[in-house]
Structure formats: C-alpha cells, structure tokens
Amino acid sequence: MEKVKIAASVLSRVQNIARQYIVAIAGMKSWKEGKVEGTGVILDLGGEVLLVTAEHVVSQIEQKGYQGLAFSNGDTKPYTKVLVPFMRDRLIDISYAKITRPKQPDSDRLACPENLIATSSREGEKDLLFIYGFPGKDSEFWTLLGGIRSKTTTYAAYASDSDWPHFDRAVHIAMYYSPKGCVGIDGKSEDLHTPDGLSGSPLWNIPRNEQMGTWMPEYARIVGIVQRWDQVGRCLIATRIEQILPFLRGETARVVNVNG
C-alpha cells in the first residue's frame, strides 16, 4: 500500500504533464459528425511536428468508410482535420502524419518536446508505467463545438508479461491492466471500462528517485505507444520507443491517405 500512496501522490501532477500532448482521434462521418476511434500524441521530433497513433486506428477509420480523420485540440476547442497522408508501419503498428504546430488560443494542446521522449524503454520495465488516453465508451463527438467531449483515463501499473502469441520482448513492452478492483488517486477502489479507444496512447514511465524513495513527475518519459489489450494476460501491450523512433525519423513506409 505504501507504493500505491507514493504513486497516487504524483499521478495527479503527471497527468497534467501528459494531457498537454494527447488528442482524441476521430473518424469523420461528415465534417460535422464523427466518432472517437483511438488516441494520439503530438510529438516534436527533430523540429517536425508529428501526430502519432497506432496504425490500426488509421486503418480502422479507412476501412469503416469515414470521410476523413480529425483530432481534438481539447475539451473546449474545435477538432482539427488531418488533410495530409499518414505514413504507417503495420509490423510495429505505428502511424504518423506531419501536422502544423498547435498554437494557442486555437488549441490547448502542445507538441511534446523531444527531451520527454525516451530513447530506450528498458529502464521503464522496472519503473512505474502509466497511460493517459481517451477510452471510446467515455468519448463522444460534440456537434455544438465541433469537437470531442471525453472523460480521460489515467492508469498506472508495473511491467507485466503477455499471453498474446505475437508478443516479442524486443518489440513490445507490456503493462499490467485489469479493469476490476483498481485503486483511484483518491485511494478508493473503482472499476474501469475496457480500454477500447486507448490504442495510440503514449506509454510513460516515471523513474524512481532512489534517494527520495519516490517518483518525480518531471522525470516522466514516453517509452512506447499502446497498441492492444491482452485480456487473457491482463495487460496492455505497447510498441517500444526504440522500435518507433527510427520509423518516425524517416525510414521507408507505406503511405495511407484516409482523407481520399
């Protein structure tokens, strides 16, 4: 319980850091109506601004016949249409599009600076891991504002093992996830929804400060991107950041344009 208390004491501050960079990814039935299909993160990498999500989120939007894809700039901001091609890598389930840097007051989202992106996920396996994303069941398109209303999910746990047949430790990192009997930041037990919609969420770690015996939120780093829920193994599976970065930096990939 002591670890739970320590973790809870910093998670409320950590989610304030993470929320600046995540967006809800929506398939657009028209430019006035849509549905949340996943989560994405805006990254500043080498001076370019990238909207990154799971590849299957982009493919899912394409296969469902939506007219296009958009992301939410925040709870009180209009959505932003993505009118450029997505690059994708199915093997690691990652997709990205180059976008214009968000600017306030039009957006309350920022591009995550490169110094908050880890170069390796290995250290994260012994540290506390957490996600902050948009679960589909708690997200809806708000026609009045042309944006997304959502109750976001913050969840923290340690690294775990997966029963998924294609799980590869060199490519994937797993975090324990069970919707039942979770302990909230307020110390109360509660059940969560299934994690549908969290695909594309960045996976963060909070390195332990051994001298202080706690986790410091300002040291949080992105160590992966969530791609699936292993319900049998009770874990979320993410692609490791060391697999993602070479792709984002320009390796050959297939082009997908969901906006036709």
pLDDT of residue 133: 83
Pairing of strands 153-157, 182-183: unpaired
Name which CATH class applies to 2-256: mainly beta
pTM of the entire predicted model: 0.89
What is the rounded distance in angstroms from the CA atom of residue 5 to the CA atom of residue 214?
10
Residue 238: pLDDT above 50? yes
Q: Would you place residue 11 in the very low, low, confident or very high pLDDT band (cuts 50, 70, 90)? A: confident
pLDDT, mean of residues 1-24: 76
- Point out the least confidently predicted range of 40-54, 68-82, 144-158, 190-204: 144-158
Confidence of residue 91 (pLDDT cuts 50, 70, 90): very high
More confident residue, 144 or 134: 134
Residue 105 preceded by cis peptide, ω within 30: yes
pLDDT digits (tens, 9 = 90+) for 140-173: 666 656 666 666 777 888 899 998 999 999 999 9
C-alpha span between 204 and 118 (Å, rounded): 9
Distance separating alpha carbons of residues 147 and 168, to the nearest angstrom:
37
Domain regions of the chain by residue span = 2-256
Per-residue model confidence (pLDDT) at position 123: 75
Q: Examine the pLDDT at 212 and tell me if it is beyond 90.
A: no
Question: Minimal CA–CA distance to 159: which of 131, 194, 124?
Answer: 124
The pLDDT, as a whole number, for residue 260 is: 47
Give pLDDT, residue 258.
61
pLDDT of residue 193: 66
